[in-house]
Each structure stands twice: as C-alpha cells, then as structure tokens.
Amino acid sequence: MFILNLANKLTIIRIILVPVFMIFLIFDVPNGNYIAASIFIIAALTDTLDGYIARSRNQITKFGKFMDPLADKLLVSAALISLVEMNRISAWIVVIIIAREFAVTGLRVLAASGGITIAASWWGKIKTITQIVAIVALLIDNYPFSKIGFPFDKLSIALAVIFTIVSGIDYFYVNRKVFLVVND
C-alpha cells in the first residue's frame, strides 16, 4: 500500500491549486488577478516547504523526485501560457522558459536511465525565484510600481529569462558527462 508523506501531499496540493489558480485568472472574477496571484504564491511556497520537509524528515521518495518538479512545471507553465493569452507577456519569452524546462527534464531522464541523479543547482533555484517574482508582477499588473512608472514587471521578466538561459547552460555544462555515460 502506498502512503503519501506530508511532503508528497504538499506536492499534490500544488498540482490541485493549478486549475484553481487558472479559474481566478482566466474567468471574469472581481479581483481575480490578485486572488490568482495569491494562489500562485501559496502554491510556489509549497514547493519550498515540501522540499524542506522531505529533506529534514528524511522522507525523500521516488514519487516526490518525479512529481515535485512536474508540479512546478505545471504551475509555472499554466501561469505563463495564461499570461500570453492575456497579452501580458510575449510568447517568445514563454517558449524560451518552457523549452529550457523540457531540455533539463530530458537531461534528467537521460541521466536517470544511466543511474545518475541530477540535483537542483543554485542557478536553477535563482531561476525559479526570478520566474516566480516575474509571474507575480505580471499577474498583479506591476502594482504598486505602475503608480510610479517603474517597469518592475519588465525588469523581472528580463532577469527571469537571463537566469533561465544561464541555468539551462549550467545544467548541460556541469552534467555533460551524462552524454558519455549513457551513450551506447
């Protein structure tokens, strides 16, 4: 019998929050973008919390190793694709971000087929933080910075793209041995 630990339950909650987030973002709900931003922040925080719980309680599982990054990608992809539909972000930016996620996931799958585990890097963590900040800024229409004309949303997106690219390059460079180990 498979029993979920607390960290894995938080991962599942994050996945369940994705459609809830989408409802408030896409449908005409009063203050929907602020509610969606709040849900997005809560979901993003569960990522940090479930990782901490899994490590501190020594409850790292195969389920968590697979589902945690998937939950993150679902949340971020749902937000970015919705923001494209809402004309708040250019599609090419979203393609870069999602393509990096597919590429790194592919690298991890390839590594796993050779018995190699690729841990998250600091560049990847910085990438995640900058993406979350940028998405929230876009979700709330750059408030409160829009009142003073400061383009925080554009600056945060630029940083997210830069760290997305840098972290992707770093993953492939640091783990280039994977291609030698699994090349048969």
Q: Tell me the domains of the chain and their CATH numbers.
A: 1-87 (1.20.120.1760), 90-184 (no CATH)
Q: What is the CA radius of gyration of the chain?
A: 17
Question: Which pLDDT band, with edges at 50, 70 and 90, does 1 fall under?
Answer: low
d(CA 16, CA 3): 18
Structure confidence at residue 19 (pLDDT): 96
pTM above 0.85, yes or no: yes
Which class for 116: exposed (0-12), middle (13-18), buried (19 or more C-beta within 10 A)?
A: middle
Structure confidence at residue 52 (pLDDT): 86
Structure confidence at residue 184 (pLDDT): 61
d(CA 155, CA 151): 6
d(CA 19, CA 29): 15
**In Å, what is the CA distance from 56 to each residue of 6, 11, 46, 155, 178?**
12, 16, 15, 35, 29
| Residue range 46-92, pLDDT digits in tens | 988 988 898 898 888 888 878 888 899 999 999 999 999 999 999 99
Which residue did the predictor score with more confidence, 119 or 36?
36
Structure confidence at residue 181 (pLDDT): 75
